[in-house]
Copies of this chain bind each other. A is one copy, B any other.
Amino acid sequence: MSATRDAALAARAAALALAASSGADRDAALLRIADALAARAYDLAESNAEDLARAAVERLPDPVVKRLRFDADKVRAAADGVRAIAALPDPLGRTQLSTELDEGLDLYRVTCPLGVVGVVFESRPDALVQIACLCLKSGNAALLKGGAEALSTNRATAAAIAEAARGPGVPDGWMGLLETREDVAELLGMDDLVDLLVPRGSNAFVRHVMDHTRIPVLGHADGICHVYADRATDVGMAVPLMVDAKTQYVSVCNAAETFLVHADAAPALLPPLLDALRAKGVAVVGCPRTVAATGCAPASEEDWRTEYLDYKVSIRIVDSLDEAIDHVNRYGSKHTDAIVTEDREAAARFLALVDSGNVFWNASTRFSDGFRYGFGAEVGVSTSKIHARGPVGLEGLVTCKYKLLGHGQTVAEYASGARRFTHRGLGRDCPL
């Protein structure tokens, strides 16, 4: 029996106990965690300094080092984040449906935890804090694997969290820390013990996870997002919106990678759009018509399938709304796609037919984010249509069960016709 499997078995056992915990117990544990993190901010920063020193020796790239840094201010900010999670409403025990099947036979559908959630994230140590606390809030046990470069930080942080969490309703073993690549490989194979995987990291990494496990995965690999400027586009609205979608933060999944422009809108739109993009340092490639109109470099077939995550955009001129929709459904990643138009019917058709989790009318693709959506906490952005779609808050970490409360009823009475179902809505919460 490996240590990883031991951790998973402990998590499984802990998950059952967590399922019976009260929201008050879980919130109290979260507040203890927040206090402990704040109180130990300097200790944790010291552990982090070990990782930073090793990163310097190993000459890790600057962006990695920047993400790795977990100084006392960042620890205290993470503690504030934990307090915010504690303040969110309890996602468990919510009655989603209540039906009287017959007098004295009441059916309720109630939210409950998934069980054991496996999370694999890259170098940011605050991700460990956030995801462990989201799991605790939602009554799930967590198996966490952080980046190897943050090993000392993660160990110290996980130990602080585990110690502080200990208390009424919170069993030991609810959080397990995995440390090696071999642990991750083993995690992916534990579909008998793990209910959901949340991979955070590079596209390649997320795809690797999706391709190597039978456990359901919450997340997304690619973010190939489009902005389509329709025939009836207000150029004054479209240009800043498209520039925002492309450049406000280029290395994120909801940044636009391709602009589609209706041929009738192109003459008025392309010159100011290209000027604005060039002013921001954005390289432009385009379809033959865009090349002819603007003198930009030609796009290859591969460009339409590429998530640049950089100051680069591909532009294609289309002859109709439906051609734009077809392009998005063919080349997109079902993440976030926007139409800019003054034509309400065109917007309705685009929103109905584009097969993406987030479809926007006259708004930048950059808005698709759990915090901007007002969810308070974000588990991830899902491009799956199953379980959870789009930015996912705590509800992505819960499932439901049907509770039927009776007085000894048997199906035979109903099959024989001696009794009949009433199927009356109760409109009340499950009493237990």
Q: Are the CB atoms of B405 and A368 closer together than 8 Å?
A: no
A45-53, A149-157, A297-305, A356-364: which one contacts chain B? Answer: A356-364
List chain B residues, Cβ under 8 A from A165: none
Q: Closest approach, in angstroms, between the C-beta of A375 and any C-beta of chain B?
A: 9
Q: Are the CB atoms of B373 and A408 closer together than 8 Å?
A: no
Q: Are the CB atoms of B408 and A362 closer together than 8 Å?
A: yes
Q: Out of B19, B240, B348, B387, name the residue touching A408 (CB < 8 Å).
A: B240
Q: Are the CB atoms of B358 and A405 closer together than 8 Å?
A: no
Mostly, the A contact residues are: mixed
The complex is assembled from copies of this chain, and their number is 2
Q: Closest approach, in angstroms, between the C-beta of A8 and any C-beta of chain B?
A: 15
Complexed CA–CA distance, A410 and B234 (Å): 15
Q: Are the CB atoms of A363 and B405 closer together than 8 Å?
A: yes
Closest chain B residue, CB of each to CB of A373:
B107
Closest chain B residue, CB of each to CB of A237:
B408
Complexed CA–CA distance, A357 and B109 (Å): 10
List chain B residues, Cβ under 8 A from A340: 408
Q: Are the CB atoms of A399 and B408 closer together than 8 Å?
A: no
Q: Closest approach, in angstroms, between the C-beta of A363 and any C-beta of chain B?
A: 3
Closest chain B residue, CB of each to CB of A410:
B244
List chain B residues, Cβ under 8 A from A355: 16, 19, 115
Query: Which of chain A's residues 194-242 have a Cβ closer than 8 Å to chain B?
Result: 195-196, 216, 234, 237-238, 240-241
Closest chain B residue, CB of each to CB of A368:
B402
Complexed CA–CA distance, A238 and B406 (Å): 12
Known: A216-B386, A344-B432. A101 touches B372 (CB 8 A): yes
List chain B residues, Cβ under 8 A from A107: 373-374
Q: Are the CB atoms of B237 and A367 closer together than 8 Å?
A: no
Closest chain B residue, CB of each to CB of A210:
B214
Q: Are the CB atoms of B399 and A386 closer together than 8 Å?
A: yes
List chain B residues, Cβ under 8 A from A240: 408, 410
List chain B residues, Cβ under 8 A from A421: 372, 374
Q: Are the CB atoms of A411 and B19 closer together than 8 Å?
A: no
List chain B residues, Cβ under 8 A from A402: 357-359, 368, 373, 389-391
Complexed CA–CA distance, A234 and B385 (Å): 46
Q: Closest approach, in angstroms, between the C-beta of A378 and any C-beta of chain B?
A: 13
Query: Which of chain A's residues 131-168 have a Cβ closer than 8 Å to chain B?
Result: none
Name A's B-contacting residues (CB within 8 A).
Answer: 16, 19-20, 99, 101, 105, 107, 109, 112, 114-115, 195-196, 216, 234, 237-238, 240-241, 243-245, 248-249, 325, 329, 340, 344, 347-349, 351-353, 355-364, 366-368, 372-374, 384-387, 389-391, 399-412, 414-415, 421, 423, 432
